[in-house]
Amino acid sequence: MTTFWILAAGLVVASLAVLLRPLLRSGGAGVARDAQRDSNVRILREQLAELDAELAAGTLAADQHAAARAEIERRVLDETRDPEVAIAARPARGAAAALAVLLPVSAALIYLALGNRDAVDSVLARAPSEATAQDVETLVERLAERMREQPDDPEGWALLGRSYASMGRFEPARDAYAKAVALVPDNPSLLADYADTLAMAQGRRLQGEPERLVLRALEIEPDHLKALLLAGAAAMERGDHAAAVERWSRAKQVAPPDSPLASGLDEGLRQARAAAGLPADDAASAAQGAGVPAASLQVRVTLAPALAARVQPDDTVFVFARAAEGPRAPLAIARLRAAELPATVTLDDTTAMSPQMRLSSFPQVVVAARVSRSGEATPQPGDLEGRSDVAVAPGPAVTVGVEIAQVRP
């Protein structure tokens, strides 16, 4: 539960609200358009916050999160683009359109473009398909250079931290967030972002300074959703399952109802309650007592002794179910740390990767487990894996055993 790459949704959206307005605004009657843009920014904030929180809860893989985030921001940009503005295509508005092209460092791009647009005109002039990773790297480094020249800008440091984190460069991201927090020490979102990035930089561990920062954020804003999620994860990491139940129960109250995040929290709470020896949630118990049909699997995951020496305690273990016949995408997924093996996890519709692809939608599934040294959901050579011997039909009393006994070529 420590692989929590949550991006700074609140800060980024606030920055976008400020940055997109001068880029997209045309002369005359801009008031109505501004109101529409403000509304779209609010929608963007809600959707991005939900995506980030799903990633934090472990119900969304990092690559899926990045793709969904890019699509949401592209859609909002499309909605806010005026027809006459699209025809005029002024360079500044070209920079705004580039937000959807150069994600996940779009905020840094626009921030840099506003300060020194000549530095990025050559990149913005290219077709979207020609924008390269090197272009992105160059833009981020130019933002870093700007911050060295203007070190008293907390928003700039936060954008730089987010850009580095999006690129997987967690140590410079940590340093950038540290400078932002030094300038604005009482911003709970900054504190939570700093804690998350610091945890990633120290091997995905929330213990120590990351947890201290999270608790400080909660002192300032007790209902801060990201801080609550991280606090619960930190509690699970140190084995304080009752504290995790408390934090995640509060997060469930704050999270958007009937959202994938809320469902993911239900699963996390079920596991935390079981580990703490607490009774099941009343709502869940009532649903089961009422005879609500359940498509679920209890998966017992073990590691072959011959492979034990190849596994580190903090390695991520993904447990997932796929349709026996049909799409290869996982229907349900759970994650844990290798140190928790052997373990039993529950796969059901609350752990679905997509509302359209659920465990209950397929008559038979195959269950598999994989140890990932990188922490990424995408399989890599050298990962350790195993799968069930036969396809099974999901049901409330079905138990499946999976032994991780193979090395992925």
CATH assignment of the domain containing 244: 1.25.40.10
pLDDT of residue 255: 79
pLDDT at res. 99:
36
Q: pTM value?
A: 0.45
- The strand pair at 399-404 and 296-303 is best described as parallel
| 82 SS3 class | coil
Strands 365-372 and 316-323: antiparallel
Q: Is residue 406 classed as helix, strand or coil in its secondary structure?
A: strand
| Dihedral class, residue 208 (left if φ above 0, else alpha if ψ from -120 to 50, else beta) | left
Asked if residue 337 and residue 218 are part of one domain, the reply reads no
Q: Is residue 75 part of a domain?
A: yes
- Beta-carbon contacts of residue 26 (< 8 Å; ≥ 6 apart): 33, 82, 84, 85, 88
Same domain as 230, residue 374:
no
**Would you list the DSSP string of 161-223?**
HHHHHHTT-HHHHHHHHHHHHHHSTT-HHHHHHHHHHHHHHTTS--TTHHHHHHHHHHHH-TT
Q: Determine, yes or no, domain membership for 281.
A: no
Please report whether residue 54 resides in a domain: yes
Which residue, 189, 220, 251, sits at the end of a domain? 251
Tell me, yes or no, whether 397 and 340 share the same domain.
Answer: yes
Say whether both 186 and 316 belong to one domain.
no
191 in the same domain as 322: no
Rounded CA gap, 405 and 389, in Å?
12
Say if residue 79 is in the same domain as residue 137: yes
Which pLDDT score is estimated for 53?
A: 61
**Residue 275 domain-assigned?**
no
Q: In this predicted structure, what is the pLDDT of residue 165?
A: 82
- Strand partners for 296: 348
Which regions in the chain score pLDDT beneath 50? Answer: 1-33, 79-131, 282-293
User: Which of these three, 233, 251, 269, is where a domain ends?
Assistant: 251
The reply to whether 259 falls in a domain is no
Split into its structural domains, the chain has a count of 2
| Same domain assignment for residues 230 and 305 | no
Both tokens assigned to 348: 């059901």
How many whole angstroms separate alpha carbon 35 and alpha carbon 238?
47
342 and 208, same structural domain?
Answer: no
In a domain, 34, yes or no: yes
Residues 232 and 341 in one domain: no
342 inside domain: yes
Q: Does 386 lie in the same domain as 310?
A: yes
For residues 8, 9, 13, 19, the Cα torsion angle rounded to the nearest 10 degrees is: 30
**Residues spanned by the domain of 124:** 9-251
Give the span between the Cα atoms of 46 and 52, in whole angstroms: 10
Instruction: Output DSSP code: residue 239.
Output: T
Question: Which of 197, 216, 251 is at the close of a domain?
Answer: 251
Q: Residue 409, class by beta-carbon neighbours within 10 Å (0-12 exposed, 13-18 middle, 19+ buried)?
A: exposed
Q: Are residues 243 and 150 in the same domain?
A: yes
* Whether 230 and 144 share a structural domain: yes
256 located within any domain: no
Q: State residue 269's pLDDT score.
A: 84
